[in-house]
Amino acid sequence: MSLHDHVPPGRPFPRGARPFYLIPIIGFVALFVVFSLGLRKDPAILPSALIDKPAPSFDLPPLLADRPGLAQRDLKGKPVLVNFFASWCAPCREEAPVLAGLAASGAVAIYGIDYKDNPVAGRKFLEILGNPYQRVAVDAAGRTAIDFGLYGVPETYIVDAKGAIRYRLPGALTPENLQSEILPRLAALQRQP
Amino acid sequence: MKPPRFLLGALFALVVQSNAPAWAVNPDERLSDPGLEGRARALSKELRCMVCQNESIDDSNADLAHDLRVIVRQRLTAGDSDQQVLAYMRARYGDFVLLKPPVDKATWVLWFGPFAVLLLGGAVIGIATRFRRPVPPAPPLSEDEARQLQTLLKSEPDPS
């Protein structure tokens, strides 16, 4: 008989404590799942504070001679896209073909707001890349953009027939996010009476 | 030979300019009233720069941060209270614009979660100790064991 015999073999912990061994393992698995899901999220994509709220009050002058400017009252009546852009913004150039395609399809009216831009450069930008907008306004001070809760250009908002902001897409429109985010939401809004 | 005066001036300008990014709040933004400017600085430190996200608008050189600093000062000059300025920002950018999130239903987990986990852990340990079966006292040594022990205690320590 050795010195250690009084410890029951194979049972280093008292019986009552057994389920507690599992706690660290369960905790680890839970954290692993939470963090794995968190890693997939893009921290730049945040919900707008203005979702389902009326678009801010604004009245901006036109950029072009042949297209009207944009005011809050113009956003009522049918669902529209409001796209903030600037001639100095590189991703705005990238999204230009997507906007042009959408405008040509006639699926929705697109209104543009030229953000903190030189109007001459803004006009040149639309001349070169084509104008997808039915209305183009100038937000020289960038205040209307801040009222929309804009982070930067480009940014695209879906505004419903009542003039409420329903969706905000930060960054450039792509064929992918047009299909997955913009068009389904527009279709749902257009089906509503 | 003394260096010409314009060279010293140019050097000074260079030093001043290279230091410029350290102050995100540009001199032309500052208010002449030190009380208002102090409130503006304090508010700017609480507001997140939405472009850089982990900087306050007081620290950020982003264009939007500049615009928001100017708006903070304009609203204070117009007579807004600190709370009204924060409400203005929250209406546009949501709670995320506040570097210190407000205590409300959506942030209860954030504020009280750590304490809840601490209490839960304490409870688990408490219950575990409460219901632990006491370890039975060791039986006394048999004669054989006592002799073995004495032999071990008296033996020379192992030279290795």
Q: Kindly report the average pLDDT of chain A as a whole number.
A: 89
* Closest in A1, A49, A152 to B92, CB measured: A49
| pLDDT confidence bin for A12, thresholds 50/70/90 | low
What are the chain A neighbours of B90 within 8 Å (beta carbons)? 49
pLDDT at A192: 77
Q: What is the mean pLDDT of residues A4-16?
A: 53
Give the closest residue to A53 by CA, choosing from B88, B91, B96: B91
The C-alpha atoms of residue A43 and residue A168 are separated, in whole angstroms, by: 15
pLDDT at A43: 66
Q: What is the pTM of this model?
A: 0.72
- A46 in reach of chain B (CB within 8 A): yes
The CA distance from A42 to the nearest CA of chain B, in Å, is 13
The C-alpha atoms of residue B29 and residue B40 are separated, in whole angstroms, by: 10
| pLDDT confidence bin for B50, thresholds 50/70/90 | confident
Q: Is the ipTM of this complex over 0.90?
A: no
What are the chain B neighbours of A17 within 8 Å (beta carbons)? 128, 131-132
- Among chain B residues, CA nearest to A141: B67
pLDDT in tens, A155-193: 999 999 999 999 999 999 999 999 999 999 999 999 875
Question: For residue A52, is it left (φ>0), alpha (ψ between -120 and 50) or beta?
Answer: left
* Pairwise CB contact (< 8 Å): A116 & B51: no
Look-up of token digits 């389920």: A19
Q: What is the mean pLDDT of residues B120-145?
A: 89
- A51 in reach of chain B (CB within 8 A): no
The CA distance from A63 to the nearest CA of chain B, in Å, is 22
Q: Is residue A119 within 8 Å of residue A127, measured between CB atoms?
A: no
- Among chain B residues, CA nearest to A149: B92
Identity of the highest mean pLDDT range in A21-30, A34-43, A91-100, B135-144: A91-100
Q: Kindly report the average pLDDT of chain B as a whole number.
A: 85
> Helices in chain A by DSSP H: which ranges?
22-40, 90-105, 119-129, 143-147, 175-177, 183-191
Long-range contacts (CB closer than 8 Å, 24 or more residues apart) made by A181-185: A182/A81, A182/A102, A182/A156, A182/A158, A183/A107, A185/A158
What are the chain A neighbours of B142 within 8 Å (beta carbons)? 1
* Pairwise CB contact (< 8 Å): B51 & A152: yes
The C-alpha atoms of residue A126 and residue A61 are separated, in whole angstroms, by: 16
- The structure tokens listed for B33 are 């009233």
Interface A–B counts its CB contacts (< 8 A) at 56
Q: Side chain identity at B48, as an amino acid letter?
A: R
Sign (positive/negative) of CA torsion B30, B36, B39, B40? negative
Interface of A with B in 133-162 (CB under 8 A): 142-143, 146-152
Count CA atoms within 13 Å of residue A122 on its CB side.
21
pLDDT at A1: 46
Give strand pairing partners of B64: none
- A22 in reach of chain B (CB within 8 A): no
> Is residue B134 pLDDT above 70, yes or no?
yes
Give the closest residue to B73 by CA, choosing from B98, B115, B42: B42
| pLDDT confidence bin for A14, thresholds 50/70/90 | low
Q: What is the mean pLDDT of residues B78-104?
A: 92
The C-alpha atoms of residue A184 and residue B69 are separated, in whole angstroms, by: 38
pLDDT at A42: 72
What are the chain B neighbours of A16 within 8 Å (beta carbons)? 128, 131-133
* Pairwise CB contact (< 8 Å): B50 & A147: no
Q: What is the mean pLDDT of residues B14-26?
A: 57
Counting every residue, how long is chain B? 160
- A1 in reach of chain B (CB within 8 A): yes
* Pairwise CB contact (< 8 Å): B53 & A3: no
| pLDDT confidence bin for B21, thresholds 50/70/90 | very low
Count of beta carbons in the 10 Å neighbourhood of residue B79:
7
The CA distance from B132 to the nearest CA of chain A, in Å, is 6
> Is residue A150 pLDDT above 90, yes or no?
yes
Q: At what angle do helices B34-46 and B63-77 cross, to 10 degrees?
A: 130
| DSSP three-state, residue B110 | helix
pLDDT at B52: 82
What are the chain B neighbours of A165 within 8 Å (beta carbons)? none
| Strand-pair category, A135-139 with A165-170 | unpaired
| pLDDT confidence bin for B73, thresholds 50/70/90 | very high
What are the chain A neighbours of B52 within 8 Å (beta carbons)? none
By mean pLDDT, which of A10-19, A28-37, A65-74, A103-112 is the weakest? A10-19
Contacts of B93 (CB under 8 A, 6+ apart): A49, A149, B48, B50
Question: Residue B160 gets which letter from DSSP?
Answer: -
> Is residue B101 pLDDT above 60, yes or no?
yes
pLDDT at A16: 55
Contacts of A171 (CB under 8 A, 6+ apart): A44, A91, A154, A155
* Pairwise CB contact (< 8 Å): A151 & B94: no
The CA distance from A131 to the nearest CA of chain B, in Å, is 26
